[in-house]
Structure 1
Amino acid sequence: MTDAAPDRTILVVGTYDTKNDELDYIAGVLRGQGGGVLTMDVSVLGDPARPCDVSKHDVAEAGGSSIGAAIATGDENAAMQIMAAGASALATRLHTEGRIDGVIVLGGTMGTDLALDVCAALPLGVPKYVVSTVSFSPLIPAERLAADIQMILWAGGLYGLNSVCKASLSQAAGAVLGAARAVERPDRDRPLIGMTSFGKTVLRYMVALKPALEARGFEVAVFHATGMGGRAFESLAAEGAFACVMDFAPQEVGNHLMGSTISAGADRMTNAGRVGVPQMVAPGCYDLVDFVGWQDAPARLAAQEVHAHNRLLSSVLLDAGQRRELARTLCDKLSGARGETVFFLPLRGGNEWDREGGPLHDADGLAAFIAELRDACPSNVTLRELDAHINDAAFTDAVLEKFDDWVASGIVRSEV
């Protein structure tokens, strides 16, 4: 153990009335590695063995209530939601004040529910570690996960310390402290463009757009639209982190609509518009719905042909009626946008496989989607039709032309 002042401080969160020994063990590992510790108690009924830096009373008050009121609800779920709101608010405040460099939260299902809120409240780049009895479980929906959350199974740790659970606890403590020391947080020295896509086998626009945008002085982050990628994209959009979004792969909207668990949540394609970020949209891979390859297809798609992309992911090609439904959904989501919005509609297709002559070409399905989009496009959205395929140079040229117009007119900020 070193006597030097700690270089990083980790917030340790949990119910100290029932998990005091485990939380103390985590704190001991952190201190043994030269880290600092700040403790937060989110208990409701009991008290910790010794006072915490942030008491349960502090937490309940930050949640707009009190411990007495939480107990008076007579409902464990309602009480813990009070504590989750307070813990999230206080964690955010402690980070803003520079008092913590990362967070580790310990819990079963109740503690994990709270932990997800705490981690979601902290910005990208703040190390977040959850030690949970339900890590990696289907109990946890994608939309509850912070973009850079880390989890480890709390194996053998339901009640009391033992050599099995110490292996998990010590790894978690070392991981969050190491991450706090090593992390290179976004410096935002250039305006950031958020773009969605898939691999360049199917969508290729980012190959030309990324260097062209960087040459204009912008940073570009491309998000893989397979559920968690879209979740990260939406969380940053909600923060107003982007100067502009190029949401050219909205397939996660279709996934969610058709009942796939590969979802970025119900708020996909809404957050940029809600905060007024200018957005460019296109229908990359709109015609496909992905689902977990080792599970059955969603009920709505069970009768349709399935293509196994790999052992993790399978895809279904949408029929004309489903494409019309998706077009209406996309337009509905964009109708609430407060910033400038343009929908680029390539009339010759939305992924490399659906070109004329390609294995997924469906002229009738594409025509149905185009017709419905024309009819449903809201008045706040500019529909720009292109006699091109999404992977053609004409698409990227049109995007860059509009982007340059937006920069020149001040719609897209060119300075941080």
Structure 2
Amino acid sequence: MGNRILVIGTYDTKDDELSYLAARIRSQGGEVLTMDVSVLGDPRLATDWSKHDVAAEAGSNIAAAIASQNENHAMQMMASGAAALVRRLFDEGRFDGVIILGGSMGTDLALDVCAALPLGVPKYIVSTVSFSPMIPPERLAADVQMILWAGGLYGLNPVCKASLSQAAGAVLGAARAVEPPARDRPLIGMTSFGKTVLRYMVPLKPALEARGYEVAVFHATGMGGRAFECMAADGAFAAVMDFAPQELGNHLFGSAISAGPERLMAAGRRGIPQMVAPGCYDLVDLVGWHPLPERFRDSVQHAHNRLITSVVLNTAERRSLAQAICARLAQANGPVTLLMPTAGCNEWDRPGAPLHDAAGLAAFCAALVAECPANVTLQQVPGHINDAAFAEAALAVLDGWVAQGLVAPGKP
């Protein structure tokens, strides 16, 4: 049973709060390990890993951090050291879950620490700025949990105790209950949206499982793409079917629904064989309750729900996106096949559907052909992305890679 929780924070200023959190974990039968990431002061009692241990892990020391006279520089140094130390301690099996307490400074550090840990490790951030738009999605670990530290700016009180006590139960409960991802069958990472707009995962998932693969389908609405990229960067996938890279367009055209600037990069950097298709390439998703950006005032719109409004890209924007896709795939270190369904890339753009634009689709396809780099195999698929022919083409590519020894065969 996972009982060992690593509690991290600035013990020089938040000793009372961190001690309360630790006491609540212990009261439920958990064990507590402590790490101090402060710079100027010292904790009341010694921690298991001191600020000096953290600074040394970053290749520096506390004296240098203080001498910099720059709190941002000092905290980034401590963040680097804490992330490296925590990852090493986890690899050594020293703890089962981590919880980090902080304001904006502590949260900045906490994001780096959580990003250093693999998926499946319970990781909790209790922060006065949880859920704030100042936190970019690309800094969030794939499965990080955040709890608002209500009333927690300075000192203990009944309001912040409610947050801290819930957080103590959450991290300990997660550490006890978590089922880390099994590695007994090769994993295929796939991106998609709901079945109203993209449906290829319905035939593909059982077909891949019949071949002996596990399949994880990521909802490509910002954080889903972020989780997908994070796991690809960790080498978790035997191959990827990135058939909904729409978050790249979201990022390029200024939407807040973004997986960050590194979308469509991680699998290529790791040399993971990747199939890419431009599912929903023609749409940019915007936060539905935000004012529509001026550049899209004249664009065709589709309100998916109160959270998401999609706008349709014009021909010039589609060409620009094709160039961006090809530029990213050109940097891949592994096999890449770009599947281009010539009859459309989402259910709303079929002939007769409300977002159909034959000229725009033709321009996009032509741009892909013109810009496709030498390391990418461009395969045009007659039909729509939701047709059976597309799923069959994807399976044929995978089977070919397995036959060539580029992808590990599945395990029945």
TM-score normalised per structure 1: 0.97
Deviation at 1:299, TM superposition (A): 4.3
Out of 321, 327, 331, which is 1:326 matched to? 321
**What does residue 265 of structure 2 align with?**
270
Out of 146, 151, 156, which is 1:151 matched to? 146
The within-5 A match list for 1:255-334 is: 255-334=250-329
Give structure 1 regions of 4+ aligned residues with deviation exceeding 3 angstroms.
Answer: none
Out of 103, 106, 117, which is 1:108 matched to? 103
Counterpart Cα distance in 1 of 2:220 and 2:277 = 13
Out of 365, 388, 411, which is 2:406 matched to? 411
Could you list the per-position Cα deviations for residues 42-80 of structure 1 after superposition, in whole angstroms to 9, with x for gaps in the alignment?
A: 000000001100000000010121101111111000000
Letter in 2 for 1:193: I
Deviation at 1:123, TM superposition (A): 0.5
Out of 233, 238, 241, which is 2:233 matched to? 238
Deviation at 1:389, TM superposition (A): 0.7
Counterpart Cα distance in 2 of 1:376 and 1:46 = 56
Counterpart Cα distance in 1 of 2:172 and 2:291 = 40
**What does residue 364 of structure 2 align with?**
369
* Native 8 Å contact 2:124 2:145 kept in 1: yes
Out of 196, 204, 208, which is 2:199 matched to? 204
Out of 80, 83, 95, which is 2:75 matched to? 80
Count of matched residue pairs: 411
* 1:163 counterpart = 2:158: yes
Counterpart Cα distance in 2 of 1:237 and 1:225 = 14
**What does residue 28 of structure 2 align with?**
33
Deviation at 1:415, TM superposition (A): 6.0
Counterpart Cα distance in 2 of 1:98 and 1:300 = 51
| Secondary structure, aligned partner of 2:14 | helix
Alignment root-mean-square deviation, CA:
1.0
Letter in 2 for 1:162: N
Instruction: Give the percent of matched residue pairs that are identical in Structure 1 and Structure 2.
Output: 70
* 1:226 counterpart = 2:207: no
* Native 8 Å contact 1:258 1:300 kept in 2: no
Out of 379, 385, 388, which is 1:384 matched to? 379
Letter in 1 for 2:395: L
* Native 8 Å contact 2:2 2:175 kept in 1: no
| Secondary structure, aligned partner of 1:241 | coil
| Secondary structure, aligned partner of 1:18 | coil
* Native 8 Å contact 2:2 2:96 kept in 1: no
**What does residue 193 of structure 1 align with?**
188
Out of 395, 399, 405, which is 1:400 matched to? 395
Counterpart Cα distance in 2 of 1:217 and 1:342 = 22
Counterpart Cα distance in 1 of 2:163 and 2:390 = 49
TM-score normalised per structure 2: 0.98
Letter in 1 for 2:370: D
Counterpart Cα distance in 2 of 1:7 and 1:273 = 35
The within-5 A match list for 1:85-104 is: 85-104=80-99
Letter in 2 for 1:169: L
Deviation at 1:391, TM superposition (A): 0.8
Deviation at 1:414, TM superposition (A): 2.1
**Distance 1:102-1:323 versus aligned 2 partners, 3 A rule:** same
**What does residue 251 of structure 1 align with?**
246
Could you list the per-position Cα deviations for residues 197-221 of structure 1 after superposition, in whole angstroms to 9, with x for gaps in the alignment?
A: 0011111110001000000000000
| Secondary structure, aligned partner of 2:69 | coil
**What does residue 136 of structure 1 align with?**
131
- Structure 2 unaligned runs (5+)? none
The within-5 A match list for 1:60-75 is: 60-75=55-70
